[in-house]
Chains A and B, each alone.
Chain A
Amino acid sequence: MTPAFITTAPPTAPHAITANSVSTVMLTVAAALLPATLYGFWLYGWPSIFLWLITVLAALFGEALCLKLAGRQALPALFDGSALLTGWLLAISLPPWSPWWIGLLGGLFATILAKQVFGGLGYNLFNPAMVARVFLLISFPVQMTIWIAPLPITAATAPGFHDGLLILLHGIPKLDAVASASLLGFAKTELSRGIDLVHSLVAATAPANAFSGVRAGSLGETATILIAGGGLALLFLRIISWHIPVAMLVGIALPATIANSIDPARYLDATSHLLSGGAMLGAFFIATDYVTSPNTKAGQLVFGAGCGFLTYVIRTWGGYPEGVAFAVLLMNALTPVIDRYIRPRILGRNWRGAPLDPATQKVKS
């Protein structure tokens, strides 16, 4: 009979272990998110800081509550950094001036229903932050699509600490004055009004591509360069591998390029797609979530390409202007299938698992 779980390790080999740990991984990812997040705070001011805070705290509270109910020690699991990261990713994927209860509900939903109900860290099938985001988007479509034009915290018209708190608690006064459209949303609306991209994108009201991140969008997803920089840092530190991000970005860019070259009046170009919405954040920080992505390099390429392609399909032909969260969740559901069919080759065996022929040692048969 196999013991359910080997808890105390009797001293057997290996007697050396890596200095790496789960909390190191999680906190490194959080650190890589920090520049983009701080930039988001600067762009969107006090309301966004409060929103971030309440979302992260709600996620942590949800995690602690479940651990308590499950009779497990809350502290070690709470400090592994995974709930912090879940709350953080959710917060920066929300519209920056969302009301307090959006952050609260989302944070609780992410850790309680999308993670702990499955058994906690490592057992969830879907990315908790994206489950919570999609739950919020479907339940509260109005609040989840109010985009704010960047209003740097240092600007005279930006809400201060007190006003920021009021926006969080009572909603946005004079919404029309601050609201803005995202490029994807704008393009979709104009197309549905019968105005093609050739005409709509040259209009003065059209949102421009912005490498600088000064555009309407979620709290932390607009600063493309800072997000890509954080992602590259994770690549360099070998926290993530290149397979998912590259496959996902190619998965978006390739169909976008093809469709755009066929009919530029109907289809946005690849650059706009890559610089819009959550493409970068999704590719480097969300789709790369270990728990919900395949565990082989080849599988990760398939997964990333699927995330990218589905994002493009949803953005272009779906009902929503943005599709990263939906695409990632759909591919999360496919991860067990990918892992079942794409496996590494075992040394001395061919791809089908049969031993190699000693005479030729040929891998293909």
Chain B
Amino acid sequence: MGLIEKFLHKLATPNWGVHPDDHKRPAADAPLRILPLPARLYVPLQQHVGQPGRPIVLVGQKVLKGELIAEAQGNISAPIHAPTSGTVVAIGEITAPHPSGLPFASIAIEPDGDERAVELPIPADPFALAPAEITRLVAAAGVVGLGGATFPSAVKLALGKRSEVTTLIVNGGECEPYLSCDDRVMRDFAAAVIDGVRLMMHAMGAGKALVGIEDNKPEAIVAMRKAAAPFPEIKIRPVPARYPMGSDRQLIQTLTGKEVPSDCRAADIGVLVNNVSTANAVHRAIRLGEPLIRRIVTLSGGAIWQPGNILAPIGTLVSDLLTFAGLKSEPARLLMGGPMMGAVLPHANVPIVKGTAGILAFNEEEIITPEAGPCIRCGNCTRACPIGLLPLEMAANIRADNLSAAEAFGLSDCIACGCCAYICPSHIPLVQYFTHAKGELSAQSRSRLRNEATKRLARERAERLEREVIEKAAAAAKRKAERAAQKAAAKAAEEVAT
């Protein structure tokens, strides 16, 4: 970069966030490779935010590629499809890609290698369809947000339509170090991404789209600019490479200058964020009739022999991916996702899911964690926080078990991006403090709700009992009065008769 460019870059750089070494190359520059079909796929039922899918296949059943194997249940859910043709060999549990190492339900499929796909009707001109129809097709294809949140895309599109969103923000930030799957999608499938963006705009009724791409991905910017050239309503906007630029509120602020109110969704201010890989998945769903059954996964880290991006079917075991990419050494730590927010994997026998952007295999040198020291109040965390919180004050209060004070400092606004813990010279595990406190507060509020409900029920029962006693007494008095009246009447009749 020239001096002037450097200066302009500095001017444009936001005053929040951190700039860790991005480690994107060489993985980002390696051509996309396609994983040969693994011996077995374990397709989890819970790959998205919301209700898990409900299996609709039986063990032993033959399935085709793209065939529905678990249907969505509930308002927020997504269906699951067979990533390839083969036989359902088991419906049971497998270790979830989560640090806890707890199991979750999945459908195991043994591929037959034929890759026979279901025939799906493909609309001749999707732009002639009603927006709701696009949303329905996206829902049926099981598309979820691939940026990491895995929120069902159709629900989001419907929300966008309902909220009359005017601007679609397309997230090509990919601010996490090491990850380059979105970069690869933009370089290799730019036209598909732009088509997906147009389809989503149509589904939401949004008039324009802004594609934010971090300026450390010049190749992607060029490719996307070329693909978007015929569509003036889609603008490619390079944004400064700064973590967490890919976080929706930060990207919205950078691209539109708008601030999402803390108690609102982005849709409430007329914008909505979708990932570039999601746009690609929408394109494949509508134009090719292909549900979300495969994705690009970045394999990187010091223990990987050939870092790069691999197109793999959903449900592939991490161990299969590691074997394909090759290992230089036994990984000292396995991560799913990037180093800033990714989760540690308990072992390699876990399946990848729709939201898996990368598998990082770190060697010993990459995981040195120095011991935490005392806070020296340097304020680096405050400067790094993209939300404007005071991490040092929140952590100090959480340490003193003063959770309500931490809440008053804005704990609930924390997005757990990890900037504070990254930048802390004392290496204090700040995010852990916040995660702990959030969990504790939510447990407290749950138990408070339960207590209130119990109290309400007890109160209602007491009132009911009291009411019953009164009603019984009233009824008895009424009967007594009636009997007395009858007696009196009979007596009177007798007297008349005599």
Q: Which residues of A contact B342 (CB under 8 A)?
A: 13, 15
Say yes or no: is A5 at the interface (Cβ < 8 Å to chain B): yes
When the two chains form the complex, which single residue of A6, A22, A357 contacts B373, counting CB atoms closer than 8 Å?
A22
When the two chains form the complex, which single residue of B341, B378, B379, B422 contacts A17, counting CB atoms closer than 8 Å?
B422
B341, B373, B403, most chain A CB atoms within 10 A: B373
Say yes or no: is A18 at the interface (Cβ < 8 Å to chain B): yes
Docked-complex contact B399 and A122, CB < 8 angstroms: no
Q: Which residues of B contact A348 (CB under 8 A)?
A: 249, 259-264, 413
Taking CB atoms and an 8 Å cut-off, the chain A residues in 1-43 that contact chain B are: 1-2, 4-7, 9-18, 20-22, 24-25
B261, B335, B399, B432, most chain A CB atoms within 10 A: B261
Say yes or no: is A355 at the interface (Cβ < 8 Å to chain B): yes
Say yes or no: is A356 at the interface (Cβ < 8 Å to chain B): yes
Docked-complex contact A120 and B436, CB < 8 angstroms: no
Taking CB atoms and an 8 Å cut-off, the chain B residues in 163-181 that contact chain A are: 177
CB distance from A338 to the nearest CB of B (A): 13
Instruction: State the CA gap A21–B369 with chains docked (Å).
Output: 12
Docked-complex contact A344 and B389, CB < 8 angstroms: yes
Taking CB atoms and an 8 Å cut-off, the chain A residues in 71-87 that contact chain B are: 76, 80, 82
Docked-complex contact B425 and A21, CB < 8 angstroms: yes
Instruction: State the CA gap A20–B372 with chains docked (Å).
Output: 13
How would residues 335 to 346 of chain A score, 1 for a CB under 8 Å from any chain B CB and 0 otherwise? Answer: 000010001111
Docked-complex contact A6 and B341, CB < 8 angstroms: no
When the two chains form the complex, which single residue of B344, B389, B413, B440 contacts A11, counting CB atoms closer than 8 Å?
B344
How would residues 216 to 246 of chain B score, 1 for a CB under 8 Å from any chain A CB and 0 otherwise? Answer: 0000000000000000000000000000000
Q: Which residues of A contact B331 (CB under 8 A)?
A: none
Instruction: State the CA gap A15–B390 with chains docked (Å).
Output: 21
Say yes or no: is A209 at the interface (Cβ < 8 Å to chain B): no
CB distance from B322 to the nearest CB of A (A): 17
User: Which of B31-39, B351-359, B380-388 is found at the contact surface with chain A?
Assistant: B380-388
CB distance from A197 to the nearest CB of B (A): 41
Instruction: State the CA gap A121–B425 with chains docked (Å).
Output: 13
Docked-complex contact B262 and A80, CB < 8 angstroms: no
Say yes or no: is B55 at the interface (Cβ < 8 Å to chain A): no
Say yes or no: is B253 at the interface (Cβ < 8 Å to chain A): yes
Q: Which residues of B contact A355 (CB under 8 A)?
A: 261-264
Docked-complex contact B264 and A7, CB < 8 angstroms: no
Docked-complex contact A4 and B367, CB < 8 angstroms: no
CB distance from B264 to the nearest CB of A (A): 5
Q: Taking CB as reference atom, which chain B residue is nearest A123? A: B374
Contact of A16 with B262 at beta-carbon distance under 8 Å, contacts A295-B377, A295-B392, A348-B413 already known: no
A10, A11, A355, most chain B CB atoms within 10 A: A11
When the two chains form the complex, which single residue of B259, B367, B386, B401 contacts A2, counting CB atoms closer than 8 Å?
B401
Say yes or no: is B9 at the interface (Cβ < 8 Å to chain A): no
Docked-complex contact B410 and A346, CB < 8 angstroms: yes
Contact of A295 with B390 at beta-carbon distance under 8 Å, contacts A15-B339, A121-B374, A355-B264 already known: yes
Docked-complex contact A358 and B269, CB < 8 angstroms: yes
When the two chains form the complex, which single residue of A4, A7, A82 contacts B372, counting CB atoms closer than 8 Å?
A7
Docked-complex contact A357 and B377, CB < 8 angstroms: no
Say yes or no: is B429 at the interface (Cβ < 8 Å to chain A): yes
Q: Taking CB as reference atom, which chain B residue is nearest A80? A: B373
Contact of A21 with B410 at beta-carbon distance under 8 Å, contacts A16-B340, A355-B264, A358-B261 already known: no
Q: Which residues of A contact B371 (CB under 8 A)?
A: 7, 76
Instruction: State the CA gap A295–B379 with chains docked (Å).
Output: 5
Say yes or no: is A361 at the interface (Cβ < 8 Å to chain B): yes
Q: Which residues of A contact B259 (CB under 8 A)?
A: 347-348, 356, 361, 363
Docked-complex contact B377 and A346, CB < 8 angstroms: no
Say yes or no: is A290 at the interface (Cβ < 8 Å to chain B): yes
Docked-complex contact A13 and B264, CB < 8 angstroms: no
Contact of A347 with B425 at beta-carbon distance under 8 Å, contacts A14-B339, A122-B375 already known: no
Q: Which residues of A contact B108 (CB under 8 A)?
A: none
Docked-complex contact B425 and A12, CB < 8 angstroms: no
Docked-complex contact B376 and A1, CB < 8 angstroms: no
Q: Taking CB as reference atom, which chain A residue is nearest B419? A: A14
CB distance from B272 to the nearest CB of A (A): 14
Docked-complex contact A290 and B249, CB < 8 angstroms: no
Docked-complex contact B429 and A15, CB < 8 angstroms: no
CB distance from A206 to the nearest CB of B (A): 42
Docked-complex contact B418 and A13, CB < 8 angstroms: yes
Docked-complex contact A345 and B264, CB < 8 angstroms: no
Q: Which residues of B contact A (CB under 8 A)?
A: 18, 20-21, 99, 177, 249, 253, 258-264, 268-269, 333, 335, 337, 339-344, 360, 362, 366-367, 369-380, 382, 385-390, 392-393, 398-399, 401, 403, 410, 413, 416, 418, 421-427, 429, 431-433, 435-437, 440
A/B interface sample: 17 pairs, CB < 8 A: A6-B436, A12-B344, A12-B432, A13-B341, A14-B340, A14-B341, A15-B339, A17-B421, A17-B424, A17-B427, A290-B378, A296-B390, A346-B387, A347-B253, A347-B259, A355-B261, A355-B263
Q: Which residues of A contact B (CB under 8 A)?
A: 1-2, 4-7, 9-18, 20-22, 24-25, 76, 80, 82, 120-123, 290-291, 293, 295-296, 339, 343-349, 353, 355-358, 361, 363
Known: A14-B341, A16-B339, A21-B425. 9 other contacts (CB 8 A): A2-B399, A11-B99, A12-B344, A12-B432, A13-B341, A13-B343, A343-B390, A347-B413, A348-B261
